[in-house]
Amino acid sequence: MWRPKKTVLIIAGGVAICAIAGAALVYSGFRRSEAADASDPPELLSEVPPGAPTLIYADLAAIRASTFYQQRPDRGPIAMPDHDYADFVQSTGFDFERDLNQVVIASWPEGLSQE
């Protein structure tokens, strides 16, 4: 008779530990999402006309600094420059793979006015 009580207590303890660990994970997830939501939008977004139904923002400096980008299998340049782009880089010194840190793209479907 002692054996079933002991088994029930062990199972109840395991369930309690799993519930506490799960609650801690959920709480830390909410804390992280609150921290991410609390940050201000990048200043570059203020330059985009309001009301764009499609808005794409990329922080390319953060992507280049990420371990995902640093450990990619092909470490060569992303784009194979054509002759015109190579001339542009040579004359201006600007290479988008090295110098472009943020980009915003806004688009409006045809027939929808930019207000």
Domain locations in the chain? 1-39, 41-115
**pTM assigned to the model:** 0.51
Q: What is the pLDDT of residue 36?
A: 47
pLDDT tens for each residue of the chain, 115 residues long: 456 777 777 777 777 676 676 666 666 665 665 544 445 667 888 888 888 888 888 888 888 888 888 888 877 666 667 888 888 888 999 888 888 888 888 888 777 665 5
Residue 106: exposure state from Cβ atoms within 10 A (0-12, 13-18, ≥19)? middle
Q: What is the pLDDT of residue 35?
A: 47
Structure tokens at 12: 């109840």
Closest by CA position to 96, among listed 69, 78, 74, 76 = 78
Quote the pLDDT of residue 62. Answer: 87
Asked if 95 and 89 count as a contact pair (C-beta separation under 8 A), the reply is: yes
Amino acid at 92: T
